A = this chain, B = another copy of it.
């Protein structure tokens, strides 16, 4: 309700004021590890940029000159096969870092889902700074470790989970990330379309839609709108996500 000045949270380089001081994403991102001095040096390198929905932050194949810290909005990161098949490898939110998994060229495309704000850095300068700020490098390594663990979890999902298990996992995961932002644990706000969810989960829109309907019918979730879902039975969803048997059609035979 309160009209905070959250519109000003991006790292605008106003003279005399540490631009990051008012950045709402700082606590969530790697900059959170930095003290006053380091933060100022980082801010000096930061270029504040905004993207409209659909705009590309980076494109697969482009030379990787920049790194990004998402400060507002959400982003889809994906890879394509020559015939157009798409795999979304992740969604990014405020506080997330873009550019870790990068060699000389970007191996993925990143596009804004909503209006997005970022802190943009030249890679060479950032590298130099990393050299001087071991805390930042540690934080980045920490971040990379978490992302790697998340990636392995996603491999388990894509390689071995059923459509329903995938969707349940996705919902809980997204809920957790949203909770981080707005505290609502059992309410999920989706910033992406069904097609994008499908391309993230290795499914089709139709299958995502059918699974959603089933969960709605069975009273596990409720659709408040197309992009807002209430989780009515978190425990059931959790069991699904982990691939637990589920109470065999609610009352089925317990044993031969």
Interface residues of A (CB under 8 A from B): 79, 81-83, 85-87, 89-90, 100-103, 107-108, 130-131, 134, 137-138, 140-141, 144-149, 151-156, 158-161, 199, 201-202, 242-245
Contacts and interface: CB of A to CB of B under 8 A. Distances in A.
Contacts of A140: 141
B141 A102 contact: no
Given A79-B153, A87-B160, A137-B138, A148 B101 contact: yes
A101 B155 contact: no
B155 A87 contact: yes
A148 B148 contact: yes
Given A141-B137, A144-B148, A148-B144, A156 B87 contact: yes
A159 to B, nearest CB: 3
Q: Choose among A101, A130, A134, A245 the residue with the greatest number of B CB atoms under 10 Å from its CB.
A: A101
Contact of A244 (B82, B87, B131, B151): B82
Nearest to A245: B83
